[in-house]
């Protein structure tokens, strides 16, 4: 193997936190020359990436995500793991007044030498934010982080993106599961490999009821031949109760599931998505805006079907 060429690569691979932070900043930059450099760096360190367990974590604001990540992350870091916390929050990086992945929300983990916390890339489209976070995962893994926690807020499309970049997806719920189930979109429940009723310390009996309800809902949502039966657990991020069980379940999942295959499938979908986006951009850049508007108007007015309009555009015919 030849010596690393990018100036940041050696320090990054040696696990230097500052190099990692700078590499992520480089990958977040919108400047074209930075993008070229970032892609070169990513390609260079790629062979060292992939050796982690990637957990996605979601739940409505206030459910206790940052408290939970702090408590679980500290446990893992104290046990010798290197834990990276990333976030996907396209809502201008602010949700419910808190910044996703903000260090001040995880004060213990923020100063732990085995942990690295990076807030959500701000601004841009969900696709852009998700891409930056994917790249950050690669960079963290190359820097030796073996547990990657990706936080997202349980209200929209970002969950699908995070589930597509992680190995398992954890939904945090509140002990009042009846109300909670109404608040959580069915689509998010369908993504969950683990559901954890947090704040079980507040009302243990309600937490048991919630766990039972969640378990029933998960059973209904899971096809009979699914390779993994999603589990419902109880925990308290404040007392630490149940956190070991959550980690044990994550490890069961990692053992029982074919993670390399899941990642290969994710990579293929990701490639297709990027290709679709790039091909679309390239096509639109080479097409007269007037022509696009003309055809769109024809479709709106019912003069052409959408299929005819697209065919005309691709064939370069006048409408
Ligand atoms: P997030 O918005 O989902 O990140 O929620 P936070 O982690 O900021 O937590 C919201 C509030 O719930 C904070 O006041 C936490 O201290 C509290 N909290 C979080 N987890 C627990 C828990 O397990 N038990 C109790 N009693 N409070 C908790």
Q: Which of 116, 117, 246 is nearest to 171 (CA)?
A: 246
What is the domain-level CATH number for residue 9?
Answer: 1.20.5.170
Residues in contact with 164: Cβ distance below 8 Å, sequence separation at least 6, in sequence order? 266, 269, 270
Q: Which atom of ligand 1 is nearest to the CA of 235?
A: 23
What residues line ligand 1, using a CB cutoff of 6 Å? 59, 61-67, 98, 198-199, 201-202, 236-238
- pLDDT, tens digit, for every residue of 54-67? 999 998 888 999 99
Closest to 160 measured CA to CA, from 127, 119, 202, 123: 127
Q: In this predicted structure, which of 38-42, 94-98, 200-204, 236-240 has the lowest mean pLDDT?
A: 94-98
**Ligand 1 atom showing the smallest separation from residue 153 Cα:** 3
Answer yes or no: are the C-beta atoms of 150 and 56 closer than 8 Å.
Answer: yes
What confidence score (pLDDT) does residue 24 get? 96
Query: What's the CA-to-centroid distance between 249 and ligand 1, angstroms?
Result: 22
Over residues 99-125, the mean pLDDT reads 83
Q: Which numbered atom of ligand 1 lies nearest the CA of 95?
A: 2
Residue of 202, 237, 239, 245 with the most ligand 1 atoms within 8 Å of its CB, for mutation: 237
* Same structural domain, 184 and 280: no
For residue 57, how far is its CA from the centre of ligand 1 (angstroms)?
14
Q: What is the pLDDT of residue 119?
A: 86
Buried-exposed string 78-98: b where 16+ CB fall within 10 A, e elsewhere = eeebbbbbbbbbbbebebeeb
**Which is more confident, 175 or 319?**
175
Q: Are residues 208 and 134 in the same domain?
A: yes
Q: Are residues 21 and 53 in the same domain?
A: no
Residue 312 above 70 pLDDT? yes
Q: pLDDT at residue 39 above 50?
A: yes
Contacts of 309 (CB under 8 A, 6+ apart): 295, 296, 298, 299, 319
Ordered DSSP codes for 157-169: THHHHHHTTSSEE
Residue with tokens 């998700």: 130
Say what the pTM is: 0.89
Confidence of residue 93 (pLDDT cuts 50, 70, 90): very low
Do 83 and 196 form a contact (C-beta atoms < 8 A)?
A: no
**According to the model, what pLDDT value does residue 27 have?**
93
**Statement to judge: residues 29 and 161 lie in one domain:** no
Nearest ligand 1 atom, CA 105: 8
Do residues 183 and 59 both lie within one domain?
Answer: yes
| Top-confidence range, 49-58, 155-164, 182-191 | 49-58
Ligand 1 centroid–CA 74 distance in Å is 16
Whether residue 205 sits in one domain with residue 114: yes
- Whether residue 89 is predicted with pLDDT greater than 60 in this model: the reply is yes
Ligand 1 atom at minimum distance from 61 CA: 2
Domain hosting residue 1, numbered range: 1-46
**Residue 123 backbone zone (phi > 0: left; psi -120 to 50: alpha; other: beta):** left
Q: Which residue has the tokens 């010798």?
A: 80
| Position 94 pLDDT exceeds 60 | no
Residues 13, 53, single domain; the answer is no
- Which residue's alpha carbon is at the smallest distance from atom 17 of ligand 1? 64
Q: How many domains in the chain?
A: 3
Q: Are residues 89 and 148 in the same domain?
A: yes
In a shared domain, residues 191 and 303:
no
Note the pLDDT tens digit of each residue in 224-241: 999 999 999 999 999 999
| Shared domain check, 284 and 177 | no
């Amino acid at each position: 193997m030849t010596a690393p060429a990018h100036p940041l690569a050696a320090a990054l691979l040696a696990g230097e936190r500052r190099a990692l932070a700078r590499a992520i900043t480089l990958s977040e930059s919108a400047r074209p020359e930075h993008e070229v450099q970032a892609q070169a760096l990513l390609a260079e360190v790629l062979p060292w990436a992939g050796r982690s367990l990637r957990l996605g974590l979601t739940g409505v604001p206030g459910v206790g995500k940052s408290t939970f990540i702090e408590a679980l992350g500290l446990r893992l870091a104290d046990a010798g793991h290197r834990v990276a916390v990333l976030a996907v929050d396209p809502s201008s990086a602010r949700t419910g007044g808190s910044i996703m992945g903000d260090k001040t929300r995880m004060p213990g983990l923020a100063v732990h030498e085995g942990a690295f916390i990076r807030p959500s890339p701000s601004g841009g489209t969900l696709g852009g934010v998700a891409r930056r976070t994917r790249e950050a995962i690669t960079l963290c893994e190359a820097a030796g982080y073996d547990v990657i926690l990706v936080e997202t807020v349980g209200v929209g499309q970002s969950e699908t993106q995070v589930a597509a970049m992680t190995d398992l997806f954890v939904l945090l719920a509140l002990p009042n599961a009846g109300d909670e189930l109404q608040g959580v979109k069915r689509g998010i429940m369908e993504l969950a490999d683990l559901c954890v009723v947090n704040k079980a310390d507040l009302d243990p009996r309600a937490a048991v009821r919630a766990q039972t309800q969640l378990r029933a809902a998960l059973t209904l949502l899971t096809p009979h031949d699914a390779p993994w039966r999603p589990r419902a657990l109880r925990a308290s991020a404040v007392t630490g109760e149940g956190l070991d069980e959550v980690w044990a379940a994550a490890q069961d999942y990692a053992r029982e599931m074919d993670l390399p295959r899941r990642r290969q499938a994710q990579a293929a979908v990701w490639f297709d998505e990027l290709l679709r986006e790039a091909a679309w951009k390239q096509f639109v850049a080479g097409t007269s805006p007037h022509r696009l508007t003309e055809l769109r108007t024809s479709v709106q007015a019912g003069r052409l079907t959408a299929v005819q309009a697209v065919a005309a555009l691709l064939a370069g015919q006048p409408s």
